[in-house]
Structure 1
Amino acid sequence: MVLSLAVIGALVGAIYIFIPHDDSADAEKSAVKTVDYRVEVITARRAAPYAVAAPEGLPKTWRATSVSYKASDDGKGGAWHLGMLDPEQEYASVEQSDAPARKFIREVTLGATKVEGKQAVGSKKWDRYKGDRYRALVREESGVTTVVTGTAPYGRLADLAAALVAKKG
């Protein structure tokens, strides 16, 4: 029995040594699939009743990981989503909707609440929100609420917000 255990142990050791495995940061980066959102943003800009915001000019170290636009049946409450990983592999997303702002903000920020202070993004001021899991920058404009949210720090959320260009298709 001891001899059988020794043989099995040697076999497991050989498998571990000779089978490639990568625990590096590059392996973590490649574990999340990157998506191309160009077609989806064009489609959303045609379908949405508001100007859809998408980043332009972000460094290639920002990677899009999810994208969607869900129209509502009544023409109100359509939602745009673009999820990304920032250069430090923290999550950040752009969320937009013409649905009632309070409910929409609560949903996309996972219950974050407004905190004191504003975040300067270019010439505009965005409200800051903080929750147990997500931070967020929120801008309410006529007919649309834009939320930049995620686990990334406020500075990188502001970088993403600064790169947003809103267009109607």
Structure 2
Amino acid sequence: MARPQRNSTVIQMIVAMAVLMVPILLVVAFFTRTPEAPIQPIDYQPVARQAAAEASYPVLVPQNLPDGWVATRARWTAEGRPGLNGEPAAGDTWQLGMLTPGQIYIGLDQRDASQELFVQQVTRDGRPDGDSNVAGVAWQRYVSEDDRTRSLVLRGDAVTIVSGDLAYEALEAFASSLAPAQP
């Protein structure tokens, strides 16, 4: 009579555990994956027309962008009206968010009052980083503390801020496409 091998029980137990673990791991992987949120494109033109009709400054919008750009956010908040945080807006505020063809977000923000606080908020407490020349106009460069977000800031009757996690050259190209919206 053949004597059973000592390791055969251990090998059988390992095989049985593997057979049980494979389906468990597949179920866990299937139910714990986070699907990528679909991009919700919007038509920003109606909001831009309203902002242009009500604002005391020229509301800017991009013109003639290449194919692949998608607007994802457009918001006009008149001074004193509740903003995103529910607090009254410190000034007339226009906000437009777009995704580049490479799926990188660029924000366009304008406000006519509390400009310095607005610059601080939008640039993520950015520090000055030189100047950019956009179509003969000097914009001030800002970079966030973590060196990730760059912004171009133009001061006037309203402050205009173009920001994103891109090189200044890409922000300059976007800023050069800006023109006043028609009411």
TM-score (norm 1): 0.79
**Given the alignment, which residue of 121, 128, 144 partners 1:107?**
121
**1:152 CA drift (Å):** 1.9
Residue 133 of structure 2 corresponds to residue 126 of structure 1: no
Greater percentage in strand: 1
**1:73 CA drift (Å):** 2.8
Letter in 2 for 1:137: L
Q: Which residue of 1 aligns with 2:9?
A: none
**1:31 CA drift (Å):** 2.6
**Cα deviation 1:50-103 (Å, max 9, x = unaligned):** 110000101122211111011013997111000111222222110001013211
Pick closer, same or farther for the CA change 1:136–1:168 going to 2, 3 Å. same
Pick closer, same or farther for the CA change 1:144–1:162 going to 2, 3 Å. same
Residue 163 of structure 2 corresponds to residue 149 of structure 1: yes
CA distance, structure 1, for counterparts of residue 26 and residue 118 of structure 2: 52
Report the 3-state secondary structure (helix = DSSP H, G, I; strand = E; otherwise coil) of the residue aligned with 2:51.
helix
Letter in 1 for 2:100: D
Q: Which residue of 1 aligns with 2:180?
A: 166
Aligned residue runs from structure 1 range 30-109, under 5 A: 31-73=38-80, 77-109=91-123
Q: Which runs of 5+ in 1 are unaligned?
A: 22-26
CA distance, structure 2, for counterparts of residue 38 and residue 64 of structure 1: 10
TM-score (norm 2): 0.73
Letter in 2 for 1:41: A
**1:104 CA drift (Å):** 1.1
Q: Which residue of 2 aligns with 1:140?
A: 155
**1:144 CA drift (Å):** 0.8
The RMSD of aligned alpha carbons is 3.0
Report the 3-state secondary structure (helix = DSSP H, G, I; strand = E; otherwise coil) of the residue aligned with 2:169.
helix
Q: Which runs of 5+ in 2 are unaligned?
A: 1-12, 82-88
**Cα deviation 1:10-52 (Å, max 9, x = unaligned):** 58759x89xxx9xxxxx96x73222111111111111111110
Q: Would you say the 8 A contact 1:50–1:168 is kept in 2?
A: no
Letter in 2 for 1:140: R
Segments ≥4 residues shifted beyond 2 Å: 1-14, 73-76
